[in-house]
Amino acid sequence: EVQLVQSGAEVKKPGESLRISCKGSGYRFSTYWISWVRQKPGKGLEWMGRIDPSDSYSDYSPSFEGHVTISADKSFSTAYLQWSSLKASDTAMYYCARHEATIFDYWGQGTLISVTS
């Protein structure tokens, strides 16, 4: 069974750093891209960027480039999303999703990030 299991909810202060994870199982991790999608409370889906775990090539939405870093460790079948300095506006649910070419067929359960002073 294909699963993407994300790390748990986090409560952080502005300016703190954070890395959340997305662990794939039930399939060959390096053969599917992983994308990250943000959903602010009561709002829609926003694509942040993606990574090819086979070679760690990544690209980003212009809206998120420079604000987050996407990485992966194929030996652990895990992708990561990290911030060096969180802002209150980063408060949101973050989803990972796998895709072969263009189809987002499996999604993680989401990681809720709350940034508050």
Partner 1 sequence: SYELTQPPSVSVSPGQTASITCSGDKLGDKYVYWYQQKPGQSPVLVIYQNTKRPSGIPERFSGSNSGNTATLTISGTQAMDESDFYCQAWDSNTVVFGGGTKLTVL
DSSP 117: -
Q: Which stretch binds partner 1 (CB under 8 A): 12-20, 46-54, 67-75, 82-90?
A: 46-54
- Two structure tokens written together for 117: 């002073």
- H-state helical runs in the chain: none
Task: Return the residue of 10, 12, 27, 46 that touches partner 1, per CB under 8 A.
Answer: 46
The nearer residue to partner 1, 11 or 103, going by C-beta atoms, is: 103
Could you tell me the CA-to-CA distances from 29 to 21, 34, 70, 83 in Å, in that order? 14, 9, 16, 23
Q: Are strands 111-115 and 57-60 parallel, antiparallel or unpaired?
A: unpaired
Length in residues, the chain:
117
103 binds partner 1, rule: CB under 8 A: yes
From residue 81 to residue 100, the character string flagging contacts with partner 1 as x (rule: CB under 8 A) and all else as - is --------------x-x---
Contacts with partner 1 by CB under 8 A lie at 35, 37, 44-47, 50, 59, 61-62, 95, 97, 102-105, 107-110
